[in-house]
A and B are shown apart, each in its own frame.
Chain A
């Protein structure tokens, strides 16, 4: 009998991620390679999120007896792809939106080769990334073709219709497959604190395009309603503390952050719903459904009622 797979400690993960290199990226090679500092910052911010994601995946796939078929939406710059490929046997298909793309801009929907190198021996990992708009285009995959769909810190970048993404993910998941979603909590305490202190709290404008910035973050309640409206059964839904403290934080800032973290860890719903990141794991049930809950959509009948063919 196979053992349950083990997961990196935070230090191991940081070391591993420091050694991940994108050898080939058929979509955004130039932009990625011109931003090493931004990629380094990106790794640092997300490491604990990615480890939490691995733990949640292990809850539902504790023993891997065949390569897991995984669709990773919005996968670029592929750090979690490398982490997952290192941890478990898997066949990963990725999707990405080319930088400098306007929302809804017609795309050449096709796969591009990506090659990653990771580990001390710079082991190569080859996979394909598809360019398509996940909130507009039909996913270019057969129904029931994946065990796991990853939608990690992607949904907040959507501009128009996350229900399309969820319905298409539902369609391409096999019965009993899972979708893992992470999304920043709109009602996180950091935002409230920034506004209270008179500081800008919203995501900056980004040179990579409208979808490069957070368009619409969600709350715990909105995530729950949205998943249920799109015919998913929720297996796991929580709001977690995963982001590192700013290295440049002053002593008063650190004291305030410590007090805040103490409050956020209290076992009460108000505190929990003010934490940083929503993590959801869900199973598709019934048929794929374009659900438009009124909390998130102001004119549901004007949105597409059927998935495009």
Chain B
């Protein structure tokens, strides 16, 4: 079901800075590499997919979770296509609808040159290790992983909590996976990605989150942006977003970092 135009516009505005930043990172990378195949995880509503295709002539494959459906009712992976208008040209992008916490990615080992995991991991509630394990598997050796996510330890979030502002998402009828399920700290994502066979090349803290409309949250968010714009490490690490580049340069393995996982023995084995 395509998202209505007003929702798309709101989404595009909310993520504009994050998408700009991701494209800048990818352009810097593209000068030295020439990827042919790119996998975008959590691509719906395909706003970034369109910008990606406007910028690069890449073969983009998407993975999304079907909306308005309980995870327990999701069928096995489905293969569909989405048509995007790129400049004067219509581009058809293959999309696999699946649950990255439950399903393996239906691609061969080393199939992709790059994988994009933009604002996905905070929406998972059970098994991000499976997603990173699978991403590592389908990336060619030294293939690129680009990840963006909110910094769970940002000054913005701290000021909001002190000010009594709830930063947790409300419940949404679009389903469990349309609501952020976990705030993730920088050290957690570092341990998780490094442990799953990636070598982190760049780990950047940036102020990219959109400003809310309500007066107090907006004021505190602006204050946090101003304070953390100072290039001192303790403040730099408190910026509101993380942009991370890693390469598939270590052996494939599954990591369950201490403190981030509980009752690991109950997880199904990854194959």
| A contact set with B: CB distance below 8 Å | 31, 35, 38, 99-106, 136, 159-162, 186-187, 191-192, 195-196, 198-210, 212-213, 215-217, 219, 222, 270, 273, 294-299, 302-303
Instruction: Tell me, in angstroms, the Cα distance from A206 to B183 when the chains sit together.
Output: 15
> What residues of chain B lie closer than 8 Å to A210, measured between beta carbons?
71, 101, 125-126, 176, 181
Q: Mark B22-40, 1 if CB is under 8 A from A, else 0.
A: 0000000000000000000
Q: Determine how close the nearest CB of chain A comes to the CB of B165; give it in whole angstroms.
A: 9
Is the pair B173, A302 in contact by a Cβ cutoff of 8 Å?
yes
Q: Determine how close the nearest CB of chain A comes to the CB of B158; give it in whole angstroms.
A: 5
- Given A103-B72, A195-B158, A303-B173, the answer on whether A207 and B168 have CB atoms closer than 8 Å is no
Instruction: Tell me, in angstroms, the Cα distance from A103 to B74 when the chains sit together.
Output: 10
Instruction: Tell me, in angstroms, the Cα distance from A99 to B128 when the chains sit together.
Output: 19
Is the pair B161, A195 in contact by a Cβ cutoff of 8 Å?
yes
Instruction: Tell me, in angstroms, the Cα distance from A191 to B169 when the chains sit together.
Output: 16
Is the pair B157, A207 in contact by a Cβ cutoff of 8 Å?
no
Instruction: Tell me, in angstroms, the Cα distance from A139 to B159 when the chains sit together.
Output: 41
**Do most interface residues of chain A lie in helix, strand or loop, or is the interface mixed?**
loop
Instruction: Tell me, in angstroms, the Cα distance from A101 to B169 when the chains sit together.
Output: 23
Closest 5 CB pairs of A and B: A104-B70, A105-B72, A207-B266, A302-B173, A102-B72
Instruction: Tell me, in angstroms, the Cα distance from A195 to B150 when the chains sit together.
Output: 14
Instruction: Tell me, in angstroms, the Cα distance from A249 to B67 when the chains sit together.
Output: 44
| B contact set with A: CB distance below 8 Å | 69-73, 101-102, 124-128, 152-153, 157-158, 161-162, 164, 166, 168-176, 179, 181-185, 187-188, 237, 259-267
Is the pair B166, A298 in contact by a Cβ cutoff of 8 Å?
no
Instruction: Tell me, in angstroms, the Cα distance from A192 to B187 when the chains sit together.
Output: 18
- Given A160-B176, A201-B183, A296-B171, the answer on whether A105 and B263 have CB atoms closer than 8 Å is no
Q: Which residue of A lies closest to B129 (CB)?
A: A205
> What residues of chain B lie closer than 8 Å to A103, measured between beta carbons?
70-72, 176
Is the pair B265, A200 in contact by a Cβ cutoff of 8 Å?
no
Additional 4 contacts, C-beta under 8 A, given A192-B162, A216-B168: A192-B161, A200-B152, A207-B263, A215-B125
24 interchain pairs (CB within 8 A)? Answer: A99-B266, A102-B72, A104-B70, A104-B71, A104-B73, A105-B73, A106-B72, A106-B73, A136-B70, A159-B176, A160-B175, A161-B171, A195-B152, A195-B158, A200-B183, A202-B184, A204-B260, A205-B128, A206-B126, A216-B169, A219-B164, A297-B171, A298-B169, A298-B170
Q: Determine how close the nearest CB of chain A comes to the CB of B96; give it in whole angstroms.
A: 19
Instruction: Tell me, in angstroms, the Cα distance from A200 to B154 when the chains sit together.
Output: 11
- Given A102-B71, A195-B157, the answer on whether A297 and B172 have CB atoms closer than 8 Å is yes
Residue of B70, B124, B127, B162 with highest tally of chain A CB at under 10 A: B70
Residue in A105, A213, A217, A295 whose beta carbon sits within 8 Å of that of B125 in the complex: A213
- Given A102-B70, A215-B125, the answer on whether A192 and B158 have CB atoms closer than 8 Å is yes
Residue of A103, A191, A200, A296 with highest tally of chain B CB at under 10 A: A200
Q: Determine how close the nearest CB of chain B comes to the CB of A243; give it in whole angstroms.
A: 17
Q: Determine how close the nearest CB of chain B comes to the CB of A61; give it in whole angstroms.
A: 32
> What residues of chain B lie closer than 8 Å to A102, measured between beta carbons?
70-72, 102
Q: Determine how close the nearest CB of chain B comes to the CB of A63; give it in whole angstroms.
A: 39
Residue in A187, A191, A296 whose beta carbon sits within 8 Å of that of B170 in the complex: A296
Is the pair B73, A299 in contact by a Cβ cutoff of 8 Å?
no
Q: Which residue of B lies closest to A206 (CB)?
A: B262
> What residues of chain A lie closer than 8 Å to B161, measured between beta carbons?
187, 191-192, 195
> What residues of chain B lie closer than 8 Å to A273, measured between beta carbons?
164
Q: Determine how close the nearest CB of chain B comes to the CB of A160; give it in whole angstroms.
A: 6
Q: Determine how close the nearest CB of chain A comes to the CB of B100; give it in whole angstroms.
A: 13
> What residues of chain B lie closer than 8 Å to A100, measured between beta carbons?
266
Residue in B70, B127, B153 whose beta carbon sits within 8 Å of that of A105 in the complex: B70
> What residues of chain B lie closer than 8 Å to A186, measured between beta carbons?
166, 168
Q: Which residue of A lies closest to B265 (CB)?
A: A207
Instruction: Tell me, in angstroms, the Cα distance from A136 to B125 when the chains sit together.
Output: 18
Instruction: Tell me, in angstroms, the Cα distance from A105 to B73 when the chains sit together.
Output: 6
Instruction: Tell me, in angstroms, the Cα distance from A163 to B16 when the chains sit together.
Output: 34
Q: Determine how close the nearest CB of chain A comes to the CB of B106; give it in whole angstroms.
A: 19
Instruction: Tell me, in angstroms, the Cα distance from A192 to B262 when the chains sit together.
Output: 22
> What residues of chain A lie closer than 8 Å to B162, measured between beta carbons?
192
> What residues of chain B lie closer than 8 Å to A199, measured between beta carbons?
153, 185
> What residues of chain A lie closer than 8 Å to B174, measured between beta carbons?
299, 302
Instruction: Tell me, in angstroms, the Cα distance from A215 to B124 when the chains sit together.
Output: 10
> What residues of chain B lie closer than 8 Å to A216, measured between beta carbons?
168-169, 171, 179
Q: Determine how close the nearest CB of chain A comes to the CB of B238; give it in whole angstroms.
A: 8
Instruction: Tell me, in angstroms, the Cα distance from A215 to B71 when the chains sit together.
Output: 14
Is the pair B152, A201 in contact by a Cβ cutoff of 8 Å?
yes
Q: Which residue of B lies closest to A274 (CB)?
A: B164
Q: Which residue of A lies closest to B72 (CB)?
A: A105
Instruction: Tell me, in angstroms, the Cα distance from A120 to B148 when the chains sit together.
Output: 56
Is the pair B172, A298 in contact by a Cβ cutoff of 8 Å?
yes
Q: Which residue of A lies closest to B180 (CB)?
A: A216
Residue of B102, B161, B171 with highest tally of chain A CB at under 10 A: B171
> What residues of chain B lie closer than 8 Å to A136, measured between beta carbons?
70
